[in-house]
């Protein structure tokens, strides 16, 4: 539909978050980042003196920084809508410029609040730690080693830096390879045990939990998910990867999400047989 076929690419929206978090694991394996328990300000010192003082990389990965954020896609005044709408002084990173103005609403590590801006910060952190663009590092660590068929496309901000919280466009089969990489544990890409930690519930809430930028719904699966219906669902027990590209009429739709999960469960049942 909509001209999208095997040769094409489709935007991931927040499926990209799970890819960005994997680059953190790669940077740890490569020695660019010492630990996810390092303070964020060690790698982004221009956040010092703001709400991110004392926040660790782990707390960014699990969306538990304690910094206040509004992710309402229908509200033009929400943080997610305004993040790149303001003029940025020359020489400053747009993400850091916006995020350092946000107030603290709880202690770090206590409260889960979904924040695309924080995944954008993770991208800034990886760029600064590796001194490479995210696209170049993604190509080096995942795209070439894992035999992706098609080039990816990453939307950039006004400075030309990748918007790492969303907007990585990938072909359907290569989305499947991303899921397969996670299923197989990312051997040679991330430290041993990275995906075991990244894809388990580091924080829990009704209906599931959240790992390192991976959703952990009930039923022994983990998933990368994006608005308008994008998903990679991985079922380790059945060695099964399911990918959906979609164009839902709304950013979030409970009924369509339930239909997608019902379909996934039917595929799981068929695989079991």
The ranges assigned to domains in the chain are: 10-272
What percent of the chain is modeled with pLDDT above 90? Answer: 94
Torsion angle, CA of 11/93/189/261, rounded to 10 degrees? -30
DSSP one-letter code for 233:
E
CATH architecture group of domain 10-272: 3-Layer(aba) Sandwich (3.40)
* pLDDT mean over 188-208: 96
Bridge partner residues of 235 (DSSP) = 240
* pLDDT mean over 166-176: 96
DSSP one-letter code for 62:
T
* pLDDT mean over 189-210: 96
Count the helix, strand and coil residues of the chain and give each as a percent rounded to the nearest 5.
Answer: 40, 15, 50
State how far the alpha carbon of 76 is from the alpha carbons of 36, 85, 162, 257, in Å. 33, 10, 22, 24
Phi, psi for 170 (deg, rounded to 5): -140, 155
The model's pTM = 0.96
* pLDDT in the model for residue 219: 85
pLDDT tens per residue, range 123-154: 999 999 999 999 999 999 999 999 999 999 99
The order of strands in the sheet holding 153-154 is: 10-11, 168-170, 153-154
State how far the alpha carbon of 125 is from the alpha carbons of 66, 79, 120, 227, in Å. 18, 20, 9, 24
pLDDT tens per residue, range 78-100: 999 999 998 999 999 999 999 99
pLDDT tens per residue, range 43-88: 999 999 999 999 999 999 999 999 999 999 999 999 999 999 989 9
DSSP 106-143: S-TTT-----HHHHHHHHHHHHHHHTS-HHHHHIIIII
* pLDDT in the model for residue 273: 66
Average pLDDT score over the chain = 96
d(CA 10, CA 203): 30
């Amino acid at each position: 539909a909509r001209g999208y076929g095997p040769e094409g690419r489709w935007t991931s929206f927040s499926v990209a978050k799970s890819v960005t978090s994997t680059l953190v694991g790669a940077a740890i394996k490569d020695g660019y980042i010492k630990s996810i328990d390092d303070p964020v300000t060690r790698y982004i010192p221009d956040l010092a003196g703001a709400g991110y003082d004392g926040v660790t990389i782990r707390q960014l990965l699990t969306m538990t920084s304690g910094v206040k954020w509004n992710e309402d896609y229908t509200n033009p005044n929400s943080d997610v809508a305004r993040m790149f709408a303001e003029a940025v002084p020359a020489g400053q990173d747009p993400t850091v410029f916006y995020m350092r103005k946000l107030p603290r609403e709880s202690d770090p590590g206590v409260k889960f609040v979904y924040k695309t801006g924080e995944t954008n910060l993770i991208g800034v952190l990886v760029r600064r730690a590796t001194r490479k663009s995210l696209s170049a590092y993604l190509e080096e660590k995942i795209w070439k080693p894992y035999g992706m068929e098609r080039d990816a496309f990453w939307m950039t901000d006004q400075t030309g830096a990748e918007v790492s919280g969303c907007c990585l466009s990938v072909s359907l089969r290569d989305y499947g390879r991303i899921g397969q990489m996670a299923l197989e544990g990312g051997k040679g890409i991330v430290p041993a045990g990275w995906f075991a930690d990244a894809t388990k519930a580091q924080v829990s809430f009704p209906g599931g939990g959240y790992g390192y930028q991976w959703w952990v719904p009930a039923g022994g699966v983990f998933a990368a998910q994006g608005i308008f219906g994008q998903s990679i669902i991985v079922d380790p027990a059945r060695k099964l990867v399911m990918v959906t590209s979609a164009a839902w009429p709304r950013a979030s739709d409970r009924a369509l999400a339930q239909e997608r999960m019902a379909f996934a469960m039917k595929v799981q049942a068929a695989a079991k047989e």
